[in-house]
Amino acid sequence: MVDIQSASLTKEKILSTIRSKGPTLPIHIARAVNLSPLFASAFLSELHGEKRIKLSYMKVGSSPLYYIPGQDSMLENFADYLSSKEKDAFLLLKDKKILNDESQTPQIRVSLRSLRDFAIPIKIRLSEEPKLFWKYFLLPDTEIDKHLPQNEESKKETEKKTIEEKKENEEIKEQERKKSEEKQKETKLGELEIKQNEKREKEEKIEETKKIKKKIKEYKFPNKIKEYLPSKGIELLEIISEKQKELIGKARINTLFGKQEFYLTAKDKKKLSEEDLIIALQKSQTEKLPALIMAPGEIDKKALNYYNSWKNLIKFEKVNF
């Protein structure tokens, strides 16, 4: 069984490390507290579920940053890890503090929606009409009015946008006119070329059918799981990913206390390892759900101790097709 006192001490070491270092990657935390990356990730998931630490939307490499509430401003130090388009939007927002969404280019508008750590959406009424603005995450609410654009400036921006949209519409019309001319030329092709096109399309459809059949064959295990779930009174709510021998998703089960959602991990394995359980628990904690693991096999002896320690958060179901 898990030593509760030891686990509590480990959590405090992790919190102390983050307090001193600021936003930190899981691998660095694991080294600091002398844990394997898998166990460190499990503890981090628990602390996040307890709302004692926060998780960044931004990723450094393939990992998010963990930080303590109040360290939000330190995320600026990692802005260089943003994509080039996101960084352009970040620097613009940092400079202007407030941006009118409709006045931005399509590229900036898309990037602002990706900057969930730095760009905060707010609704502001201008000329009796609500408008979407983006606030820099460190700007106090008391200073919002100082950075709002004046009505005349907003009018100029709107006029500029209207001109740009008109120009874009004209370009689209020109492109459609050229496409129409090309289609007219194509209709004048000889009978032989038309037959060749039909033959090519037929071959492409046959090839596509083969690919679909191959995909169905490869996904035999996920398909069996989908058919199996209803027989156990389990409702599949969402499919997150499918592989040849794996199905990840969200499921719901009726219990005596009402409907309960689970983070579902189904694997076509004869033996489930401790690593399988740790990864499933980590992902479920990120979604703030208990884990439901399904497999045609059993949990191996080494992993059984881990399962018994965390069985309040992990449920195992052996499937029989």
Q: In this model, does residue 300 exceed pLDDT 90?
A: yes
Give the tens place of pLDDT for each residue, 51-78. 999 999 999 988 999 999 999 999 999 9
Separation of alpha carbons 95 and 105, rounded Å: 16
Q: In this model, does residue 2 exceed pLDDT 50?
A: no
Q: In this model, does residue 29 exceed pLDDT 50?
A: yes
Three-state secondary structure of 271-286: EECHHHHHHHHHHHHH
Compute the mean pLDDT over every residue in the chain, rounded to the nearest whole number: 87
Q: What is the pLDDT of residue 182?
A: 76
* Mean pLDDT of the region 151-173: 69
Q: In this model, does residue 148 exceed pLDDT 60?
A: yes
Q: In this model, does residue 92 exceed pLDDT 90?
A: yes
Q: In this model, does residue 152 exceed pLDDT 50?
A: no
Any bridge partners for residue 133, and if so which? 100, 122
- Looking at the chain, the whole-number percentage of residues with pLDDT higher than 70 is 88
Q: In this model, does residue 120 exceed pLDDT 90?
A: yes
Q: What is the pLDDT of residue 169?
A: 81
Length of the chain: 321
DSSP assignment of 113-130: HH-TTTEEEEEEEETTEE
Q: For 141, list phi and psi in degrees, rounded to 5.
A: -60, -25
Q: What is the pLDDT of residue 1?
A: 40
Separation of alpha carbons 15 and 13, rounded Å: 5
User: Three-class SS of residue 117?
Assistant: coil
Give the tens place of pLDDT for each residue, 210-265. 666 555 555 689 999 999 999 999 999 999 999 999 999 999 999 888 899 999 99
Q: In this model, does residue 158 exceed pLDDT 60?
A: no
Radius of gyration of the chain, Cα coordinates, nearest whole angstrom: 27
State the first-to-last Cα distance of the chain, in angstroms, to the nearest integer: 33
Q: What is the pLDDT of residue 215?
A: 56
